C-alpha cells in the first residue's frame, strides 16, 4: 500500500488527470498543501522555523546559494566538470573504460550538499527526494531523454529494514514519473550486505562491492535492449554504479547511464 509520503509526492508531481477533473484536483492539492503547512510548517535547511524565506521544499535562499551546481562543460563519461569543452572524455575515463556509458551529477559533494543528502538518508527528510529529482531532471536532461527506464541503486534488505526506505528509490520514482519512463525498482538487487564504502580507496571500493549485485532473471525481459538510467545519491569512484551497470548489461541492457545528486571531486574523495 503506498505511503502517505508517496501519495503526497505523486500529487506534488502533478500526475495526469482528465480535463474535467483537473480543476477539482488542483483545488484539492492546494488545500492539502496549505493544511500540511499549517500543521507542519516548512523548515529551512538551517533548522529554523520562520526567519528566512523558505524555497524549494524546505531549502532557504541562503542554503540554496551555498550549493555548488555542476554546469557544462562536463566529461561525457563520468560527469566531472571540465575547464573547457574539447570534445574528449577526461583523462580518468580515457585511462580506464567504465562499465557504465555516461554519468551526470547535479551538484558538487561538499559540506553543504552532504548535509542535505544526510538529511534525506538519516533524518527521514524524504521531502527532499522530489527536490533532488528536479535537480537531476535538469543536470541529466540529455540522459533522461535517451533513457527508456529508470532503476535505483538498491539497498540490502537488512539495511532497508533499518532505514525503512531506499533514498535512491525515493529520488528515482518521481524522476521516472515526471519523464514518463518505466520505473524498474527490482531490476537490480543487492545480494550481499557490504560494509560502508566510506574511507576506502578506489580499488577497495571495487573489491567491497564485487559480486554484491544481481539482476533477477524474472526482470531480464524488461531490461533487455533498454537504455537504463541508474539513480543514486553520490558518485565517488563509481564502484557501486559500475557494479550495477555490469549486471544490467549482463541481463541485456543496451546502455547504462548514471545520474547522481552529487559527485565527489577526485582530489576530495574520502569518507562520506
55 or 187, which is more confident: 187
Q: What is the mean pLDDT of residues 157-165?
A: 86
Q: What is the pLDDT of residues 19-44, one digit of tens each?
A: 333 455 445 555 555 444 433 444 44
Residue 270 binned pLDDT confidence (cut-offs 50, 70, 90)? very low
Q: Which pLDDT score is estimated for 174?
A: 96
Question: In the chain, what are the domain boundaries?
Answer: 70-268
Q: Which pLDDT score is estimated for 196?
A: 57
Spell out the long-range contacts of 197-202 with Cβ–Cβ below 8 A and sequence spacing 24 or more: 197/236, 197/239, 197/240, 197/272, 198/271, 198/272, 199/270, 199/271, 202/237, 202/239, 202/269
Q: What is the mean pLDDT of residues 214-230?
A: 97
Q: Given phi > 0 = left and psi -120 to 50 = alpha, else beta, which region is 53?
A: beta
Residue the block writes with cell 521544499: 57
pTM of the model: 0.74
Q: Which pLDDT score is estimated for 32?
A: 55
Q: What is the pLDDT of residues 165-221, one digit of tens each?
A: 999 999 999 999 999 999 999 999 998 766 555 554 455 445 555 578 999 999 999
First to last CA, the chain: 33
Strands 189-190 and 255-263 come out as unpaired
Q: What is the mean pLDDT of residues 62-85?
A: 90
Q: Residue 52 pLDDT more than 70?
A: no
Mean model confidence pLDDT for the chain: 78
How far apart, in whole angstroms, are the C-alpha atoms of residue 44 and residue 46?
A: 5
Q: What is the mean pLDDT of residues 97-122?
A: 93
DSSP string, 197-219: -TT--HHHHHHHTTT-EE--GGG
Question: Would the CA dihedral through 110, 111, 116, 120 be positive or negative?
Answer: positive
Of 221, 222, 262, the C-alpha closest to 111 is 262
Q: Residue 45 pLDDT more than 60?
A: no
DSSP string, 60-127: EHHHHHHS-B--S-B-TTT--B-SS--SS--HHHHHS--SSSEEEEEEE-SHHHHHHHHHHHHS--TH
The listed CATH number (3.40.50.80, 1.10.1060.10, 1.10.357.10, 3.40.50.2020) that belongs to domain 70-268: 3.40.50.2020
Q: Which pLDDT score is estimated for 21?
A: 39
Amino acid at each position: 500500500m503506498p505511503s502517505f509520503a508517496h501519495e503526497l509526492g505523486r500529487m506534488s508531481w502533478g500526475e495526469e488527470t482528465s480535463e474535467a477533473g483537473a480543476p477539482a484536483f488542483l483545488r484539492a492539492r492546494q488545500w492539502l498543501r496549505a493544511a500540511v503547512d499549517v500543521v507542519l510548517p516548512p523548515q529551512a535547511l538551517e533548522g529554523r522555523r520562520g526567519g528566512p524565506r523558505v524555497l524549494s521544499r524546505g531549502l532557504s535562499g541562503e542554503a540554496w546559494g551555498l550549493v555548488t551546481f555542476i554546469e557544462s562543460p562536463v566529461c561525457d563519461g563520468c560527469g566531472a566538470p571540465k575547464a573547457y569543452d574539447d570534445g574528449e572524455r577526461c583523462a580518468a575515463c580515457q585511462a580506464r573504460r567504465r562499465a557504465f556509458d555516461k554519468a551526470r551529477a547535479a551538484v558538487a559533494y561538499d559540506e553543504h550538499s552532504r548535509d542535505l543528502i544526510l538529511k534525506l538518508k538519516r533524518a527521514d527528510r524524504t521531502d527532499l527526494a522530489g527536490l533532488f529529482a528536479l535537480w537531476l531532471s535538469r543536470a541529466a536532461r540529455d540522459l533522461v531523454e535517451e533513457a527508456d527506464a529508470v532503476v535505483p541503486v538498491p539497498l540490502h534488505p537488512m539495511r532497508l529494514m533499518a532505514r525503512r526506505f531506499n533514498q535512491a528509490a525515493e529520488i528515482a520514482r518521481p524522476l521516472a514519473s515526471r519523464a514518463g519512463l518505466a520505473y524498474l525498482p527490482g531490476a537490480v538487487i543487492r545480494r550481499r550486505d557490504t560494509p560502508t564504502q566510506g574511507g576506502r580507496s578506489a580499488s577497495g571500493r571495487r573489491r567491497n562491492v564485487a559480486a554484491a549485485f544481481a539482476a533477477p532473471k524474472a526482470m531480464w525481459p524488461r531490461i533487455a535492449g533498454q537504455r537504463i538510467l541508474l539513480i543514486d545519491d553520490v558518485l565517488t569512484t563509481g564502484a557501486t554504479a559500475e557494479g550495477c551497470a555490469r549486471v544490467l548489461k549482463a541481463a541485456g541492457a543496451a546502455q547504462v547511464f548514471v545520474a547522481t545528486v552529487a559527485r565527489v571531486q577526485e582530489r576530495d574523495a574520502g569518507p562520506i
